[in-house]
Amino acid sequence: MIEIEIGEHVKILVASTPIDFRRGINGLVALVAQALKMDPYCGSIFVFRSKRRDRLKLIAWDGSGMILVTKWLEAGSFAWPPARDGVVHLTGPQMAMLLAGHEWTTALGPAIKDRQKRGKSANLLGF
């Protein structure tokens, strides 16, 4: 068994709209580059879901090659942001909850100070 630890500085980006789940690793790399206008080789983790929300795929570049992970739930569905264009950023604990099939939106990131609001706290995800 291999245990994967996600460093605190690794960006985790979740595509908010479903993909054609027949896409393989090359198709997902192209999707990141063309549709999301991002570099798939930057070291970030990119997460995608199926239309039924019971399966997900993620890709990540580890410095020596591209990694493709697929997971499907035997029952239920993954908690997902509302379907709209763009990406959602997750923290490591939120990613662990997503992969476990739990409601990850309840695991909010740390409060940060918003420069515009001068000292008022705001969450990174906007919740």
pLDDT at 10 > cutoff 70: yes
Q: What is the pLDDT of residue 57?
A: 96
pLDDT at 125 > cutoff 50: no
The domains of the chain are located at: 12-92
CA 116/CA 84 separation, integer angstroms: 26
Give tens-digit pLDDT for 65-112: 999 999 999 998 888 766 566 778 888 888 888 888 888 776 655 544
13 or 82, greater pLDDT: 13
Report DSSP state, residue 106: G
CB atoms within 10 A of CB 42: 12
Q: Using an 8 Å Cβ cutoff, are 13 and 44 in contact?
A: yes
pLDDT at 28 > cutoff 50: yes
Give tens-digit pLDDT for 41-70: 999 999 999 999 899 999 999 999 999 999
pLDDT at 12 > cutoff 90: no
pLDDT at 38 > cutoff 90: yes
17-to-77, 85, 92 alpha-carbon distances in Å: 15, 6, 21
pTM (predicted TM-score) = 0.74
CA 10/CA 92 separation, integer angstroms: 8
Three-state SS string across 22-42, please? CCCHHHHHHHHHHCCCCCCCC
9 or 113, greater pLDDT: 9
Q: What is the pLDDT of residue 118?
A: 45
pLDDT at 123 > cutoff 80: no
